Amino acid sequence: MKKTLTVNLWGQVFNIDEDAFEKLQKYLSSLENKFSKTPEGKEIIGDVEARIAEIFKERLAISRQVVTLDDVYFAIGIIGLPEDFDIADDGSKEDKDESKKTEKSRRLYRNPDDRILGGVGGGLAAYFGIDPTVVRLLLVITFFFSGPLIYIVLWLIVPEAKTTAQKLEMRGEPVNLSNIEKNIKDEFSKVKDNLKSKNTKKNIKDATHHLGEILVSIIHVFFHAFTIILGFAFLILGLVFLFSIFVGVFFDGASTISVTSLFETFIESNLLTPVTIGLCLFIGIPIILLIITGIRFIFGIHHSFKLLRKTLGFSFLIGLILVIFVVISQSLNYKTNNQMKENIKLDSLKNKTLIINVTNNLKNKFNNNELECNSYIFNCSQDSCVLYGKTQITIQKTDDSLPSISIVKFCRTKSKKEGSYFLKQIPSTVIITDSVVSLSEYFTIHQNNKFRFQKETVTFNLPVNTNVIINGTEENDENIYFEGNYSYSEIKGKNCVMSEEGIVITNSSL
Amino acid sequence: MNIENTKAQMRKGVLEYCILSVLSNGDAYASDIISKLKKVQLIVVEGTLYPLLNRLKNDGMLSYRWEESLQGPPRKYYKLTSEGEKFLNELHKVWKELVENVAQMNNQFNK
């Protein structure tokens, strides 16, 4: 059993054995190599093709349907090998003798098979029989002299070795059928294209076209260099991202803020797995793509990795869906507002001076392992991270006869029921002993309690003429509010009194 | 000195003349011309002929027309142009002189 191909020879359709096809193809390409130099070459080849078709028709008419290798040999026997054609050419015998003598002589062509820009380097290398890298190195060395100019001039004037025969000449190998055969292999269609374009081009057009080609090539090389640089940038960026995520997730302790603790604080336990997978896909896949793109740019890989791209795209979509799902279900946990208000009358104060002591209750205040956002602070020690809320302290004037403290706790939850639970979990920070009210700057949102926008405000309602001293830390600037024209740092630790215009410093303290 | 080479050179010289001569007897397509030339052992392979016909055509000696064939692709039928006829007449004269002169010379030496 043999595989056959269908070919169109001069408008005639033939079924042809595969081996016969290859032989025929080689034969025709060798003819094309011979005649492509002459303008009428195409017509001659057309004549030959027509004749071959005729011979095949005659032979097939007997009994067979498929053109075999024998038929091809028969046709070649009748028509003759390209060398045998020479008898009809002008002075061809002399030429042939001469070419035999000068078999080793080479011609300078630009080498299209070994090129970076115009193939001048490859051509020169083939001409002198040296490694093209040496030529290129020379060009680089002479870059600041006249190397590039010589290169461009050579590019313009040296023809490109388009046909196999020219390529053989370039390397100084004799142009004969066996060599051509050796070189052609399956270049049939390529040669045919060359032949076509060569015949249709006009000379002037050719020259401008050539110049254009040079410009395009130069741009191409710059573009190529640019893509390589871009590729490296992508690769490095991708690897840095990947590395930092790897460190962040798997070596939690290495970063100042524990990512795991952050997640545990802000996201429900049952959503932790989906959000982890989702985020890994959502962030990881673009990074992987970045790295792959980088590698493709650097090595000039044009393969499109369809399956890989589909898989990555699909995974990315899954990640996106997971993240959206988590965001939606998480945000449902914040739909109900809850508030709890507690009023404490300061009966014991009488005419004594009220002393407000604000203390900083953070364990690791100065180790910098904290993340602050609005009135929340994420404070990390070596083994755990705890979220704190900032207590908001307000001192205001009241028309009541007695001073009082009102403590308001707030949170947002899924339901009222959940709300009351979370409200209870907000610790009371106010301790009243006689005329001294101690309160902490921060309240703990315990690690086992999820984040629910917990807020705590402590409001001092003071009648006019109440004496007060506020003791606090430097940072209380942000969370202590009071009526009056003074700033916190001005009144801190000083004897003050509540007046009609708010807090004022009493003279006795001066 | 290669005898085959010399023979080929001689044949080549008269090949154009013979092609024109064949066509002067009537229009013909490539295979006709070839079979005639093969009979007189002027060419060995057909391939030789195609570039030659092409050149003669380009020089205005020949013209061709397409003719349908019962079997196979359409054929190119070559025809001698008036210019080709003039050229052929010239060649006839040259050939005659050549043959006569060579014969004469050979006879002289043989005597």
Which residues of chain B lie closer than 8 angstroms to A89, CB-CB? 51
Share of chain A above pLDDT 70, in %: 78
> Is-contact A345 A462, C-beta < 8 A?
no
Q: Report, as an integer, the average pLDDT of A25-35.
A: 83
For B15-57, the pLDDT digits (tens) are 888 888 888 888 888 888 888 888 877 776 777 788 888 888 8
Distance from CA of B25 to the nearest CA of A (A): 22
Nearest Cα to B10, choosing from B86, B106, B95, B88?
B95
Per domain, the residue ranges of chain A are 229-332, 335-509
The pLDDT of residue A258 is: 67
The 10 Å Cβ neighbour count of residue A290 is 19
Q: Which residue of A has its CA nearest to B71?
A: A57
Would you call A11 and B54 a contact, using CB atoms and an 8 Å cutoff? no
The pLDDT of residue A318 is: 92
A14 part of contact set with chain B, CB < 8 Å: no
A101-105, A326-330, A385-389, A447-451: segment of lowest average pLDDT: A101-105
The beta-carbon neighbor of B54 closest among A44, A77, A82 is: A44
Distance from CA of A52 to the nearest CA of B (A): 10
A11 part of contact set with chain B, CB < 8 Å: yes
Whether A78 has a pLDDT exceeding 60, the answer reads yes
The beta-carbon neighbor of B47 closest among A61, A84, A93 is: A84
Distance from CA of A166 to the nearest CA of B (A): 21
Would you call A85 and B75 a contact, using CB atoms and an 8 Å cutoff? no
Distance from CA of A61 to the nearest CA of B (A): 9
CA dihedral A444, A450, A452, A456 (to 10 degrees): -10
What is the value of ipTM here, to two decimals?
0.80
The 10 Å Cβ neighbour count of residue B80 is 24
The residue range of the domain holding B89 is: 3-110
User: Can you give the length of chain A in residues?
Assistant: 510
Whether A192 has a pLDDT exceeding 60, the answer reads no
Total number of domains constituting chain B: 1
A353 part of contact set with chain B, CB < 8 Å: no
Would you call A79 and B46 a contact, using CB atoms and an 8 Å cutoff? yes
Tally C-beta pairs within 8 A across A and B: 83
Interface test with A, best of B10, B11, B45, B70 (most A CBs within 10 A): B45
Interface test with B, best of A34, A43, A51 (most B CBs within 10 A): A51
Q: Report, as an integer, the average pLDDT of B94-109.
A: 86
Q: Which residue of B has its CA nearest to A38?
A: B51
A40 part of contact set with chain B, CB < 8 Å: yes
CA pair distance A217, A221, nearest whole angstrom: 6
A95 part of contact set with chain B, CB < 8 Å: no
> Is-contact B11 B43, C-beta < 8 A?
yes
Nearest Cα to A30, choosing from A204, A177, A226?
A177
Supply the DSSP symbol for A367. Answer: S
The beta-carbon neighbor of B54 closest among A43, A58, A82 is: A43
For B54-82, the pLDDT digits (tens) are 888 888 888 888 888 776 677 888 888 88
Would you call B51 and A54 a contact, using CB atoms and an 8 Å cutoff? no
CATH of the domain at B30: 1.10.10.10
Q: Which residue of A has its CA nearest to B72?
A: A54
The pLDDT of residue A256 is: 59
Distance from CA of A44 to the nearest CA of B (A): 6
Place of tokens 């202590």: A480
The pLDDT of residue A92 is: 41
* More confident of the two residues A493 and A104: A493
